[in-house]
């Protein structure tokens, strides 16, 4: 009998948050208690500090920059875990309806939560990419290869918009109990009018793709693709609004206390050493790096004040994030209703660590549920020891996720499905905002906490893995344990067989992975050192520059970058690996681009 597979992804959860230390008790005691029941990895690493890149290995089983890079590959349905399990006859459930997931999920999945702010489907995703290419277009530097990539993005964007509110997508609607929105006749009318315009625009795009793209950039503020959609998301149901009024009246003092305490803890326990801060000031004043100085203070301020918990009471703020408990109960409701003739593959993606930081179920209209969650959160805050070191807001969200994960595990146990289910608990990436030192820069860096993630597999033979694990090993292991053939594009290995003493991560940074103009960043890490090299694919590998180098034995928090003392030629142990990957990636990208040129839309 085939095993069920349930993947629980806590977006932004770092490894250290799941492990208790002398200074900090884990806010996820239930997950921590499961570590001895399956495969537990102590050195698992993601491929990026952001979801778009990090999830590439998790769902597609290969490196972030393979097959045209994460930007284009993630829009494809084929050779994802979803398509593999569908071909094997599994029932599918997914809760990650974000803007960069394949539009086919709306059709293939039994559930799709397709409200995305005021714009249907891919709007935020496509705008951020077009903003990047608009500057290149204005400078008259847009080349034919850019147009081919834009063809891919816009074609996928149109396909997603056509599926929005379609018959097939509405068949996957959530049950009434966990649907917090209320739709009106005005909303329906706007949707129908907008969908008619989508069809006209898509026909225009197919008629002359290059002309259509040029028209976007020439009429950027008023074009259909770039102007704000006038549909607007449906309003919340009256019972949801009443629940939030109750929370505001009953718990506003507690929420403000959490913010105040969190600031104090962060400032007292998590500031970097004075020597580190002084070195930053020295650079600013001696080298007159005023722009960098402003950025330094801005980043420091943002780290401390990034999540104002009191703003969680703002209805508009929470519209973008479905609570973990709502997702868990939607899944359980779906699992109870399905006919059970086939095994299931379910993927639940929790956003509790994203803006706004959330540690209660703000979208379930049950007063008793909300009261219980906030009372337990208050008890957690009251029990924090004097030597606490961490981010209180992050830990409250982790505590809430722990509670939601326990509910799922209890359901599997109560329905006697635990032994026939492979349960994966992991993250797409870690976070700098989780109790480590306050970083003056939070993005595009290869700091340990942003990549080091928890990986726990239950329903398989027990084993603790201390060797280095890549996130792309997770889907490979799942299929291996299920006895399912892996797609040729999967380049991971079974976690159980791993013996690696180091890990390599590659990334271009957030936004558009433009490998024609942006340098590829490679990070090598072992127990003694961590370094990052930068090189353009249009250059030679010998032109690589070491931009970060940390001696982890002397500087475990990676505060002192000694890259000036190290050149690429001095890295003998890894040079061959980088050279091999450079040649491979260059050929891989050229092959993908040629495929797009020959593709018929």
Each residue's pLDDT tens digit, 487-541: 999 999 999 999 999 999 998 877 788 988 999 999 999 999 999 999 999 999 8
Bigger pLDDT: 305 vs 235 = 235
pLDDT in tens, 191-221: 889 889 999 999 999 999 999 999 999 999 9
Helix 144-163 to helix 572-597 angle, to the nearest 10 degrees?
A: 70
Q: How far apart are CA 64 and CA 508, in angstroms?
A: 9
Structure tokens belonging to residue 78: 């084929």
User: Cβ(270)–Cβ(436) under 8 Å?
Assistant: yes
Distance (Å, whole) CA 102 – CA 424: 22
d(CA 197, CA 195): 5
Q: Give pTM, 2 decimals.
A: 0.92
Q: Is residue 305 pLDDT above 90, yes or no?
A: no
DSSP type of residue 342: S
More confident residue, 441 or 19: 19
Q: What is the DSSP letter of 359?
A: -
Task: Report pLDDT for 320.
Answer: 56
Mean pLDDT over 40-54 rounds to 90
DSSP 338-358: S--SS-EEEEEEE-TTSSSP-
> What's the pLDDT band for 597 if we cut at 50, 70, 90?
confident
Q: What are the tens digits of pLDDT across the range 151-183?
A: 988 988 888 788 777 777 777 665 566 777 777
Q: Quick one: tokens of 459? A: 């329903």
Q: What is the CA radius of gyration of the chain?
A: 24
Residue 416 has pLDDT above 80, yes or no: yes
Residue 34 in contact with residue 452, Cβ under 8 Å? Answer: no
Give the sign of the dihedral formed by CA 7, CA 10, CA 15, CA 20. Answer: negative
SS3 call for 19? coil
């Amino acid at each position: 009998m085939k095993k069920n597979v349930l993947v629980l992804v806590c977006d932004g959860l770092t490894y250290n948050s799941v492990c208790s230390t002398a200074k900090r008790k884990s806010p996820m005691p239930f997950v921590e208690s499961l570590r001895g029941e399956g495969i537990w990895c102590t050195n698992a690493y993601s491929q990026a500090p952001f979801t778009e890149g990090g999830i590439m290995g998790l769902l597609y089983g290969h490196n972030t920059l393979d097959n045209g890079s994460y930007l284009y590959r993630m829009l494809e349905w084929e050779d994802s875990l979803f398509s593999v399990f569908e071909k094997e006859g599994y029932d599918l459930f997914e809760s990650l309806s974000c803007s960069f997931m394949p539009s086919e999920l709306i059709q293939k999945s039994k559930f799709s939560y397709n409200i995305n702010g005021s714009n249907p489907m891919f709007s935020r995703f496509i705008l951020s990419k077009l903003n990047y290419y608009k500057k290149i277009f204005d400078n008259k530097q847009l080349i034919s290869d850019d147009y081919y990539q834009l063809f891919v993005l816009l074609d996928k964007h149109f396909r997603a918009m056509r599926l929005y509110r379609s018959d097939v997508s509405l068949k996957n609607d959530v049950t009434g109990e966990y649907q917090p929105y209320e739709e009106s006749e005005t909303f329906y009318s706007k949707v129908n009018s907008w969908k008619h315009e989508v069809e006209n625009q898509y026909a225009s795009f197919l008629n002359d793709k290059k002309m259509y793209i040029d028209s976007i950039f020439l009429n950027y503020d008023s074009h259909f693709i770039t102007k704000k959609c006038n549909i607007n998301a449906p309003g919340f149901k009256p019972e949801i609004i009443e629940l939030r009024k109750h929370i505001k009246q009953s718990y506003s003092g507690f929420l403000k206390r959490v913010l105040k305490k969190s600031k104090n803890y962060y400032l007292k326990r998590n500031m970097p050493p004075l020597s580190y801060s002084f070195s930053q000031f020295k650079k600013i004043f001696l080298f007159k790096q005023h722009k960098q100085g402003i950025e330094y203070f801005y980043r420091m301020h943002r780290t401390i004040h990034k999540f104002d918990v009191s703003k969680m009471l703002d209805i508009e703020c929470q519209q973008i994030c479905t609570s973990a408990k709502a997702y868990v109960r939607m899944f359980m409701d779906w699992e109870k209703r399905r006919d059970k003739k086939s095994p299931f593959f379910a993927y639940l993606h929790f956003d509790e660590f994203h803006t706004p930081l959330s540690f209660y179920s703000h979208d379930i209209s049950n007063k008793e549920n909300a009261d219980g969650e906030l009372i337990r959160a208050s008890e957690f805050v009251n029990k924090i020891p004097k030597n606490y070191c961490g981010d209180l807001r992050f830990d409250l969200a982790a505590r809430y996720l722990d509670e939601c994960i326990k509910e799922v595990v209890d359901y599997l146990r109560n329905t006697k499905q635990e032994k026939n289910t492979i349960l994966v608990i992991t993250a797409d990436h870690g976070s700098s905002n989780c109790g480590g030192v306050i970083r003056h820069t939070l993005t595009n860096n290869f700091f340990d906490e942003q990549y080091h993630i928890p990986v726990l597999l239950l329903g398989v033979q027990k084993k603790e893995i201390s060797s280095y694990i890549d996130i792309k090993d997770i889907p490979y292991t799942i299929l291996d344990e299920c006895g399912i053939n892996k797609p040729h594009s999967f380049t991971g290995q079974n976690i159980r067989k791993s013996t690696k003493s180091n890990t390599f991560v590659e990334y271009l940074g957030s936004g558009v992975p433009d490998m024609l103009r942006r340098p590829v960043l490679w990070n090598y890490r072992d127990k003694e050192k961590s370094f990052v090299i930068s090189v353009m694919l249009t250059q030679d590998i010998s032109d690589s520059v070491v931009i970060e180098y940390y001696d982890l034995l002397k500087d475990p928090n990676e505060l002192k970058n000694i890259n000036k003392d190290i050149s690429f030629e001095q890295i003998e142990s890894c040079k061959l690996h980088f050279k091999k990957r450079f040649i491979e990636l260059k050929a891989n990208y050229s092959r993908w681009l040629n495929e797009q040129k020959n593709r018929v839309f």
